[in-house]
Amino acid sequence: MAAIFQGVGAAAALSSSPSNSFDSKKFVSSPCRPFSVRKGASFAVVRSDGRVNLNPKGRRAQQLISNAVATKSDSAAASSSSKPGHELLLFEALQEGLEEEMERDLRVCVMGEDVGHYGGSYKVTKGLAKKFGDLRVLDTPIAENSFSGMGIGAAMTGLRPVVEGMNMGFLLLAFNQISNNCGMLHYTSGGQFTIPIVIRGPGGVGRQLGAEHSQRLESYFQSIPGIQMVACSTPYNAKGLMKAAIRSENPVILFEHVLLYNLKERIPDEDYICNLEEAEMVRPGEHVTILTYSRMRYHVMQAAKTLVNKGYDPEVIDIRSLKPFDLYTIGNSVKKTHRVLIVEECMRTGGIGASLIAAITENFNDYLDAPIMCLSSQDVPTPYAGTLEEVTVVQPAQIVTAVEQLCQ
């Protein structure tokens, strides 16, 4: 079992458990041993044979604690009431991350529709306007292209805006600014202007929201040079990615999912970020690599339960970084399992999965024992009817079937 733990503390604390029992019932991704958290600590990598390397060659030591939270705990350890940290919902985690960064740096501000007095359409910015004022949490008119451009201009001149698309789909209106200015201005200005902007919002297929409110913009934005894209999926990585995105000097698009805002998890009290470029090992395994992100992570984990009962041992990786791909984590997994299944909510055509297949084939073709399988949403506008909507996205049963097919 290879578990890549990063961030904290004594190597001793990171010795991997020999038992392979991971209870995937609880979607709580907390470390299986409490970490002693120290700022400025270097990180360790636990190798598959249990050896621990400090500062493995090639990775930079990181000042902040960067934690690609890995294994799931078994239920006994998880339900201990003396666990450190605090419990909250995903939207609260986003809010916490945003609030902490706004306290830490006065230049951080929020812009978007209904982010101020209304508290955000999904309550991510609740209470912030009261605390920080109407200028730092700016209620904009309904003009996505222009207020995104305004955010970019503000970023160029010294601020660190967080622009919210009330629904990611609305950012289609801002495509001009996101593609031309957000992604490109650092380059076309010869490096003179940085654009430390975060563009975030809820996307993905919800519950019968209709076609236009159920879009997955990650596939449209992925070709834009000069931007990074990350997708959060747990309260832990939501807060971590939010903070990392705000601190990054690059423009980052943070994809949230409408259906994940009420996930509950216990997260550390201490300051932490999640590395923007890294994938997250959700469940180490041996038989097949399942790559996923955002909401599909939960469909995958549900399928994983079934698969485990059927005797399979899937390795589940939440790629988190949609652009660029973490080819190290992905590659190591491919080299181990030799079989890859991608499960995504994007459309089949031109989606993240399509790019991922290309990247894996290009880099790891020799390690594959079978063609890469990719389960994506159907290339249809998301229908309103619940029964139809259900079949446009990938369901756990399909994932189980796909793995069985792959592992024949």
Partner 1 sequence: MNSASCAAKISTQPFSLNPTSPASHDRPLVSPKPASLFLGSTRKLRLSSSSKLNLHRRSGTVVAVSDVVKQKKSKSTHSLLITKEEGLELYEDMILGRAFEDMCAQMYYRGKMFGFVHLYNGQEAVSTGFIKLLKQQDSVVSTYRDHVHALSKGVPARAVMSELFGKTTGCCRGQGGSMHMFSREHNLLGGFAFIGEGIPVATGAAFTSKYKREVLKEADCDHVTLAFFGDGTCNNGQFFECLNMAALWKLRIVFVVENNLWAIGMSHLRATSDPQIYKKGPAFGMPGIHVDGMDVLKVREVAKEAIGRARRGEGPTLVECETYRFRGHSLADPDELRDPAEKAHYAARDPITALKKYLIENSLASEADLKAIDKKIDEVVEDAVEFADESPVPSQSQLLENVFADPKGFGIGPDGRYRCEDPKFTEGTAHV
Residues near partner 1 (CB under 8 A): 56, 58-60, 106-107, 109, 133, 135-136, 140-141, 143, 145-159, 176-177, 180-181, 185-196, 225-228, 248-250, 276-278, 321, 323-329, 331, 363-364
Give the up-direction half-sphere exposure of residue 394: CA atoms within 13 A in the CB hemisphere: 32
- Is the CB of 261 or the CB of 325 nearer to partner 1? 325
- Is the CB of 208 or the CB of 250 nearer to partner 1? 250
**CA max distance for the chain:** 60
- Is the CB of 149 or the CB of 202 nearer to partner 1? 149
Which residue out of 96, 99, 144, 256 is catalytically annotated?
A: 144
Q: Pairing mode, if any, of strands 264-267 and 86-89?
A: antiparallel
Q: How far is the CB of 373 from partner 1 (least distance, A)?
A: 21
- Is the CB of 109 or the CB of 232 nearer to partner 1? 109
Q: How far is the CB of 62 from partner 1 (least distance, A)?
A: 11
CA distance 317 to 9: 24
Q: How far is the CB of 290 from partner 1 (least distance, A)?
A: 19
Q: How far is the CB of 265 from partner 1 (least distance, A)?
A: 25
Q: How far is the CB of 252 from partner 1 (least distance, A)?
A: 9
Question: What tokens does 144 get?
Answer: 């996505």
Overall size of the chain counted in residues: 408
* DSSP string of 344-396, one letter each residue: EEEESTTSHHHHHHHHHHHHHGGG-SSPPEEEEE-SSPPPSSHHHHHHHS--H
Sign of the four-CA dihedral 167, 386, 233, 128:
positive
Q: How far is the CB of 245 from partner 1 (least distance, A)?
A: 11
Q: How far is the CB of 330 from partner 1 (least distance, A)?
A: 8
CA distance 122 to 143: 19
- Is the CB of 57 or the CB of 207 nearer to partner 1? 57
CA distance 80 to 28: 13
**Residue 346 near residue 352, CB atoms below 8 Å:** yes
Alpha-carbon separation of residue 147 from 10, 138, 164, 173, 302 (angstroms): 46, 10, 10, 11, 40
To which residue do tokens 């423009």 refer? 251
Which residue out of 186, 213, 287, 299 is catalytically annotated?
A: 213
Residue 221 neighbours by CB under 8 Å, 6+ apart: 178, 179, 227, 229, 253, 323
Residue 144: active-site member? yes
Question: What tokens does 372 get?
Answer: 């890469």
Which residues in 328-345 are b (16+ Cβ under 10 Å) and which e?
ebbbbbbebbbbbbbbbb
Residue 86: active-site member? no
- Is the CB of 127 or the CB of 381 nearer to partner 1? 127
CA distance 186 to 194: 6
- Is the CB of 64 or the CB of 89 nearer to partner 1? 64
How many H-runs (helices) and E-runs (strands) does the chain carry?
A: 13, 16
Q: How far is the CB of 331 from partner 1 (least distance, A)?
A: 4
- Is the CB of 32 or the CB of 64 nearer to partner 1? 64
User: Which amino acid belongs to residue 324?
Assistant: P
Catalytic residues: 144, 213
